C-alpha cells in the first residue's frame, strides 16, 4: 500500500541532495555517468480527456457469476444480493466526551503499578469459550513531560499527481550486461527442507447460528456490491490506466500507466467469484508492456513490486497456479521481474529504488542512494521470494536475501534504538564520513607536499589529481613527497568495493540523510519492512531463522520505545505506536510524537500474527489493543473515519490511565502557565490604571487638562516562545489559535471578546491577553478536534486499508465476532462518505460530517480495503491465514506445506 506518500517528496529531494553531495566529493570519470540515473520529474502535462462515450458502468452487479467454491455463498443467495441502490448506510454519531470527568485529579504517577492481568474471554483451539487470565502487557512507562512535542507532521504535496506525458516514446527497456554480477556459485539459494511446524494463526471456528450466517451474508453482499460498482467504473472509464477518477470519470497514471488498478484487483475479483471480470482482466494483462512507459522515466521500485509484481503472482496463486491455467500471469510477473532485476546491479547489490529504465541510463553503473526510506528498501522480499519459489529461480531470492542480510547485520551491529531502524537509510555502501576524513588528510598532505616541493601532486594510485586547498596551478610532478603519501594511500584504498578507481570506503547500511537526526516509528516510510519479517518467515516455511530474530527484536524495541496508551474520554484500554526523534542518544535526547496515523494501523495485525506464529500470547493481546486503537480513532470523528494523521495525549502508565481534562487542556495549550501569568499581570495593571484614573479625576476638578495615561507596557516574558510556537504551528498548519496569541503578544491586538469590554474601551493601550481557557476552547472549535485529540494535521482519508486489515486479522485470530461488528461500522462510515456513482473517492476532511470528495480512487481500494472487508464476512476458510500469507498490498501468496 502507499505508505510513503507523505514523505516521498522529502525522500526524493533528500536523495538528490545526498547524491549531489556525493558527486561533489568524488571526481571519478567512471561514475560521472551515474548522474544520469537521477530520477527525472517532468512537469506533468495535462490529463487526456475522458474516454469517449458516457456509457454507464459495466453491468455485473447481479452476482449471477459468482461461482467460487471456496466460499459458502450460494449463487442463489447472491442473486438476491442488494444492488447498489439498495445499500442504505446510516450515519454514525460522533463520540461525545463523557460528562463528569475529573478536572482536579492528580498527575499520573510515573511509578510502575502492579499490573494484574484482566479477565477476558478467549477461545481455545477446540472452540469452547472459557474465561482465562489475559497475558500481562508489559510496556514501560512513558516520559510524558514533553507536552508540547506532540505536534503532528505537516502535509506534503501529493507526489502521485503525475500526469501522463504527452510525448510518447518508442524507447523500450532492454536487457543490459551487469556491471556487478554475482558469481554463479555465490547466488543465495532458497532455503530447502521440510517446512517447520508453525503454530496455527486462525481460530478454530465453530458452526455459526442461522441468524449470524444470514447477517454475515448480507454484509458480504454489500461489500461485493462496492467492488462490482468500482470495478465497473474502472473498466468503463479507466480501463488500461492506473486509476479511475471516480467523480470526473477520467483516469490517472501515476504508476507508469501499466493498469495498476486492474493488476491490483485481479485476486480480489477471483476471491469474490467475479470470474468473467477476472478473465476479461487477464486478457488486458496480456497487453501490458512493462518495457516502456510514456508516463514515467523512472520506475518506482517499491510501488511497482508490491502492486504489480505482488498482484500478478497472487492472482496466479489464487487462481490455482499451474493447474489454474492462467500461465500468462506468471509470464508477465517474470517479464516485470526481469526488468526490476536491473535495480540490484550495484556494487553492494542494494537496489536503486527509482529505476531509470531507458537503456541509455540503465546500461550505466550505478549505486544505491544515500538516503532511502526503510520501507522501500525492505519491502521487496515477499514478492521476489514467491516468484523464486514459483519459477525455481534462486536469483530472485538472492536479490532480496542480500537486503535482509544487510538489515540483519545492521541490527546485530546496533542502531541508535536497538532492534529497529531509522527512517532514512544510506544504502550506498560508501562511508562518507570515512571519505571525508581521507579527503581532509589528503588536503593536509598536499599542504605538506607543497611546503616540501612547492608544486602540486598527482595521485598515482587513484589516477586522479588530488587537489589541496593551497595547490598551485601548473605545478609539475614531484617524486619527493609521493612515496610518503603512497604508503598511506595503499592502506586506505585497498578495501574498495568496486575497483581501484572508486574512492568508496565500504560500509553496511547506515543512517541516511545529512543530519544527525534519526526518526523511528512504525508509520509511513518504515512500516512494511517490519511487516515483512514475520510474513517472510511464514513464506519460507520457517526455514530462515533470521526473519524470526529480526521480528523478535523489532517487537521488543516497539514495546520498549514506541507503544503507548492514549488518554481518551472513556478510558478505553487501547494502544498506539509513537514516533521518536533522536540525535543519537535516545535515553537522553529522545523527543516523542504521540502520533495516531492510519498507516500505522497495520501493526495490530503484525503483533497478532507474530504472537501466534512465535507463540507469544502477550503480543496477541497487544495486537488487539492496537487494532482497538484504530477502531477508537474511527469512532471518534464526525464522519466515523479516522484521519490520516493526528496526535493524542499519552498516559504515563499503561495500566493506570484515566481521563483528565486539565491535563488534556495542557496538551492543547502547552503555554497554559504563561497565559495564566499574563492574565494575572493584566489584572494587576488594570487595577493600577483604574486607581490612577480615579486619582486624576480628582485633579481635573482643579481645571487641569486631562492627560493620557502613561504608556503601559505589558510584560510579555514569553513573547519569543509564543512566536516560536506560532511559527512552528504555522509550518505545521495546525493552530491558528496560538498564532493569534502570539500576535497578541507582539501587540497586534487580537484579543478575546471580553466581559471587561468596558475596561478595554477605557484603556485601549492595555491589551488583554487570551486566557488558557479561551485559547483551548477556541482551538478545539477552530480545529474541530474530537475529544482526546490534540491535533489533526492530516484530515483526509484516501480509502486506506490498514485499520480494517488489523480488525480482520484479529477476527481470524480470535474468532471474536465483535471484530466483525467493529468492521461493519467502519464500512458503513467509509461507504457513506466515499461512494460515487462509479466507484469510491478519497475525502478531504474526516472531521467534517460531510467531507468533500477529492476524485481519487487508489488502486488499493479494490486490492486491499474491499478485500479485507470481504474476508471479514466470508467463510473463515477463504484464504485461511494458515495457508496464505498476504503482502503489504493484501496480495495472498500460498504458504509452503
- In the complex, the residues that contact ligand NAG under the rule CB under 6 A are 102, 105-108, 431, 433-434, 437, 507-508, 510, 660, 662-663, 666
Nearest distance from residue 651's CB to ligand NAG, in Å? 11
Cα–Cα nearest to 304, from 276, 342, 278, 274: 342
> Please, which residue, 581 or 662, has the CB nearer to ligand NAG?
662
Cα–Cα nearest to 579, from 602, 604, 596: 596
> Please, which residue, 108 or 310, has the CB nearer to ligand NAG?
108
Length of the chain: 897
Nearest distance from residue 369's CB to ligand NAG, in Å? 16
Nearest distance from residue 498's CB to ligand NAG, in Å? 17
Nearest distance from residue 108's CB to ligand NAG, in Å? 6
Nearest distance from residue 413's CB to ligand NAG, in Å? 8
Nearest distance from residue 422's CB to ligand NAG, in Å? 12
> Please, which residue, 248 or 656, has the CB nearer to ligand NAG?
656
3-state secondary structure of 797: strand
The alpha carbon of residue 568 and the mean position of all alpha carbons in its chain are separated, in whole angstroms, by 24
Q: In 2-20, which positions are buried (b, 16+ CB within 10 angstroms) versus exposed (e)?
A: bbbbbbbebbbebbeebbe
Cα–Cα nearest to 7, from 144, 153, 130, 151: 153
3-state secondary structure of 795: coil
Cα–Cα nearest to 555, from 511, 597, 608: 608
The alpha carbon of residue 704 and the mean position of all alpha carbons in its chain are separated, in whole angstroms, by 72
Q: Which residue is nearest to ligand NAG (CB)?
A: 105
In terms of C-beta density within 10 A (0-12 exposed, 13-18 middle, 19 or more buried), how is residue 314 classed?
buried
> Please, which residue, 6 or 432, has the CB nearer to ligand NAG?
432
> Please, which residue, 239 or 441, has the CB nearer to ligand NAG?
441
Cα–Cα nearest to 340, from 308, 378, 382, 315: 308
Nearest distance from residue 100's CB to ligand NAG, in Å? 13
CA distances from 88 to 83, 91, 730 (A): 10, 10, 41
Distance CA 756, CA 487 (A): 82
Cell of 802: 490498514
Nearest distance from residue 307's CB to ligand NAG, in Å? 32
Nearest distance from residue 505's CB to ligand NAG, in Å? 7
Cα–Cα nearest to 497, from 18, 176, 28, 15: 28
Cα–Cα nearest to 668, from 596, 751, 727, 725: 725
> Please, which residue, 175 or 658, has the CB nearer to ligand NAG?
658
Three-state secondary structure along 387-455? HHHHHCCHHHHHHHHHHHHHHHHHHHHCCCCCCCCCCEEECCCECHHHHHHHHHHHHHHHHHHHHHHCC
Nearest distance from residue 113's CB to ligand NAG, in Å? 14
> Please, which residue, 102 or 178, has the CB nearer to ligand NAG?
102
> Please, which residue, 93 or 106, has the CB nearer to ligand NAG?
106
Nearest distance from residue 84's CB to ligand NAG, in Å? 50
CA neighbours within 13 Å on the CB side: how many for 228? 27
> Please, which residue, 98 or 289, has the CB nearer to ligand NAG?
98
Nearest distance from residue 665's CB to ligand NAG, in Å? 8
Place of cell 467509509: 830
Distance CA 15, CA 421 (A): 18
Nearest distance from residue 423's CB to ligand NAG, in Å? 17
Q: In 369-378, which positions are buried (b, 16+ CB within 10 angstroms) versus exposed (e)?
A: bbbbbbbbbb
Three-state secondary structure along 16-60? HHHHHHHHHHCCCHHHHHHHHHCCCCCCCCCCCCCCCCCCCCCCC
> Please, which residue, 373 or 666, has the CB nearer to ligand NAG?
666
> Please, which residue, 528 or 666, has the CB nearer to ligand NAG?
666
> Please, which residue, 190 or 434, has the CB nearer to ligand NAG?
434
> Please, which residue, 108 or 851, has the CB nearer to ligand NAG?
108
> Please, which residue, 143 or 174, has the CB nearer to ligand NAG?
143
3-state secondary structure of 459: strand
Distance CA 577, CA 559 (A): 9
DSSP 556-613: HHIIIIIEE-B--TT-----EE-EEEESS-HHHH-EEE-EEEGGGGGHHHHHHHHHHH
Cell of 730: 504555522
> Please, which residue, 660 or 834, has the CB nearer to ligand NAG?
660
> Please, which residue, 129 or 436, has the CB nearer to ligand NAG?
436
Nearest distance from residue 107's CB to ligand NAG, in Å? 4
What secondary structure letter does DSSP report for 379?
Answer: T
Q: Apex CA 530: angle with CA 526 and CA 536, to 5°?
A: 135
Q: Are 616 and 610 in contact (CB under 8 A)?
A: yes
Distance CA 351, CA 344 (A): 4
> Please, which residue, 64 or 516, has the CB nearer to ligand NAG?
516
3-state secondary structure of 186: helix
What secondary structure letter does DSSP report for 176?
Answer: -
Distance CA 81, CA 217 (A): 9
> Please, which residue, 292 or 507, has the CB nearer to ligand NAG?
507
Distance CA 360, CA 874 (A): 50
Amino acid at each position: 500500500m502507499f505508505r510513503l506518500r507523505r514523505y516521498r517528496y522529502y525522500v526524493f529531494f533528500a536523495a538528490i541532495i545526498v547524491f549531489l553531495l556525493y558527486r561533489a566529493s568524488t571526481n571519478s570519470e567512471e561514475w560521472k555517468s551515474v548522474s544520469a540515473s537521477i530520477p527525472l520529474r517532468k512537469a506533468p502535462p495535462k490529463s487526456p480527456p475522458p474516454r469517449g462515450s458516457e456509457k454507464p458502468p459495466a453491468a455485473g452487479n447481479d452476482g449471477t457469476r459468482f461461482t467460487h467454491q471456496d466460499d459458502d455463498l450460494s449463487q442463489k443467495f447472491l442473486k438476491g444480493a442488494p444492488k447498489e441502490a439498495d445499500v442504505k448506510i446510516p450515519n454514525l454519531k460522533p463520540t461525545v466526551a463523557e460528562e463528569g470527568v475529573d478536572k482536579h485529579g492528580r498527575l499520573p504517577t510515573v511509578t510502575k503499578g502492579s499490573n494484574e492481568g484482566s479477565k477476558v474471554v478467549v477461545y481455545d483451539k477446540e472452540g469452547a469459550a472459557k474465561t482465562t487470565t489475559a497475558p500481562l502487557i508489559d510496556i514501560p512507562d512513558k516520559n510524558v513531560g514533553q507536552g508540547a512535542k506532540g505536534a503532528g507532521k505537516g502535509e506534503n504535496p501529493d507526489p502521485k499527481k503525475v500526469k501522463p506525458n504527452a510525448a510518447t516514446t518508442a524507447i523500450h527497456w532492454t536487457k543490459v550486461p551487469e556491471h556487478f554480477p554475482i558469481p554463479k556459485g555465490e547466488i543465495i539459494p532458497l532455503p530447502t527442507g521440510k517446512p517447520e511446524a508453525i503454530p496455527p494463526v486462525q481460530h478454530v471456528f465453530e458452526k455459526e447460528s442461522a441468524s449470524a450466517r444470514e447477517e454475515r451474508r448480507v454484509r458480504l453482499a454489500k461489500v461485493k456490491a462496492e467492488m462490482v460498482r468500482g470495478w465497473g467504473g474502472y473498466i468503463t472509464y479507466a480501463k488500461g490506466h492506473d486509476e479511475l477518477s471516480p467523480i470526473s470519470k477520467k483516469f490517472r497514471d501515476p504508476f507508469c500507466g501499466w493498469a495498476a488498478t486492474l493488476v491490483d484487483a485481479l485476486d480480489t475479483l477471483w476471491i469474490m467469484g467475479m470470474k468473467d471480470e477476472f478473465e476479461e482482466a487477464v486478457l488486458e494483462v496480456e497487453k501490458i508492456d512493462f518495457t516502456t512507459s510514456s508516463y514515467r522515466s523512472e520506475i518506482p521500485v517499491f510501488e511497482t513490486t508490491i502492486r504489480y509484481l505482488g498482484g500478478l503472482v497472487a492472482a496466479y496463486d489464487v487462481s490455482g497456479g499451474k493447474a489454474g491455467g492462467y500461465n500468462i500471469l506468471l509470464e508477465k510477473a517474470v517479464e516485470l521481474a526481469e526488468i526490476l532485476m536491473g535495480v540490484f546491479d550495484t556494487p553492494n547489490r542494494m537496489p536503486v529504488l527509482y529505476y531509470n529504465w531507458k537503456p541509455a541510463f540503465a546500461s550505466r553503473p550505478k549505486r544505491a542512494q544515500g538516503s532511502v526510506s526503510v520501507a522501500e528498501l525492505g519491502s521487496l522480499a515477499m514478492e521476489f521470494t514467491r516468484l523464486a519459489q514459483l519459477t525455481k529461480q534462486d536469483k530472485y531470492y538472492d536479490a532480496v536475501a542480500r537486503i535482509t542480510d544487510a538489515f540483519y547485520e545492521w541490527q546485530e551491529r546496533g542502531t541508535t534504538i536497538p532492534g529497529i531502524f531509522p527512517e532514512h537509510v544510506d544504502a550506498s555502501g560508501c562511508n562518507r564520513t570515512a571519505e571525508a576524513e581521507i579527503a581532509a588528510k589528503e588536503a593536509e598532505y598536499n599542504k605538506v607536499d607543497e611546503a616540501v616541493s612547492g608544486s602540486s601532486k598527482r595521485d598515482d594510485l587513484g589516477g586522479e589529481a588530488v587537489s589541496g586547498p593551497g595547490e598551485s596551478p601548473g605545478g609539475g610532478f614531484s617524486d619527493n613527497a609521493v612515496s610518503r603519501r603512497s604508503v598511506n594511500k595503499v592502506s586506505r584504498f585497498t578495501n574498495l568495493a568496486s575497483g581501484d578507481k572508486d574512492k568508496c570506503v565500504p560500509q553496511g547500511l547506515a543512517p541516511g540523510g545529512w543530519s544527525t537526526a534519526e526518526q523511528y516509528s512504525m508509520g509511513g516510510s518504515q512500516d512494511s519492512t517490519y511487516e515483512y519479517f514475520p510474513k517472510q518467515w511464514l513464506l519460507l516455511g520457517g526455514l530462515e531463522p533470521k526473519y524470526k530474530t529480526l521480528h523478535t527484536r523489532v517487537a521488543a524495541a516497539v514495546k520498549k520505545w514506541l507503544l503507548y496508551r492514549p488518554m481518551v474520554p472513556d478510558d478505553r484500554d487501547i494502544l498506539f505506536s509513537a514516533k521518536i526523534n533522536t540525535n543519537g542518544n535516545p535515553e537522553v535526547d529522545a523527543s516523542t510524537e504521540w502520533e495516531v496515523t492510519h498507516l500505522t494501523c497495520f501493526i495490530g495485525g503484525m503483533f497478532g500474527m507474530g504472537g501466534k506464529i512465535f507463540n507469544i500470547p502477550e503480543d496477541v493481546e497487544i495486537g488487539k489493543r492496537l487494532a482497538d486503537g484504530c477502531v477508537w480513532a474511527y469512532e471518534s470523528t464526525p464522519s466515523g473515519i479516522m484521519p490520516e494523521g493526528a496526535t493524542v495525549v499519552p498516559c504515563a502508565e499503561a495500566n493506570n490511565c484515566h481521563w483528565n481534562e486539565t491535563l488534556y487542556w495542557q496538551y492543547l495549550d502547552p503555554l497554559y502557565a504563561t497565559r495564566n501569568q499574563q492574565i494575572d499581570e493584566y489584572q494587576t495593571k488594570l487595577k493600577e490604571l483604574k486607581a490612577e484614573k480615579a486619582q486624576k479625576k480628582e485633579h481635573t476638578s482643579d481645571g487641569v487638562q486631562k492627560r493620557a495615561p502613561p504608556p503601559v507596557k505589558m510584560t510579555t516574558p514569553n513573547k519569543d516562545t509564543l512566536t516560536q510556537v506560532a511559527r512552528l504551528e504555522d509550518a505545521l498548519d495546525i493552530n491558528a489559535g496560538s498564532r493569534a496569541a502570539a500576535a497578541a503578544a507582539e501587540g497586534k491586538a487580537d484579543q478575546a471578546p471580553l466581559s471587561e469590554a468596558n475596561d478595554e474601551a477605557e484603556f485601549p493601550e492595555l491589551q488583554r491577553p487570551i486566557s488558557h481557557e479561551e485559547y483551548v476552547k477556541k482551538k478545539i472549535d477552530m480545529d474541530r478536534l474530537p475529544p482526546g485529540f490534540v491535533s489533526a494535521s492530516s484530515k483526509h482519508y484516501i480509502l486506506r486499508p490498514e485499520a480494517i486489515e488489523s480488525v480482520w486479522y484479529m477476527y481470524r485470530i480470535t474468532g471474536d465476532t465483535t471484530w466483525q461488528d467493529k468492521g461493519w461500522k467502519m464500512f458503513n462510515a467509509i461507504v457513506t462518505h466515499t461512494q460515487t456513482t462509479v466507484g469510491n473517492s478519497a475525502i478531504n476532511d474526516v472531521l467534517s460530517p460531510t467531507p468533500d470528495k477529492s476524485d481519487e480512487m487508489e488502486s488499493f481500494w479494490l486490492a486491499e480495503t474491499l478485500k479485507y472487508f470481504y474476508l471479514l464476512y466470508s467463510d473463515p476458510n477463504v484464504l485461511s491465514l494458515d495457508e496464505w500469507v498476504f503482502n503489504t498490498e493484501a496480495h495472498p501468496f500460498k504458504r509452503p506445506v
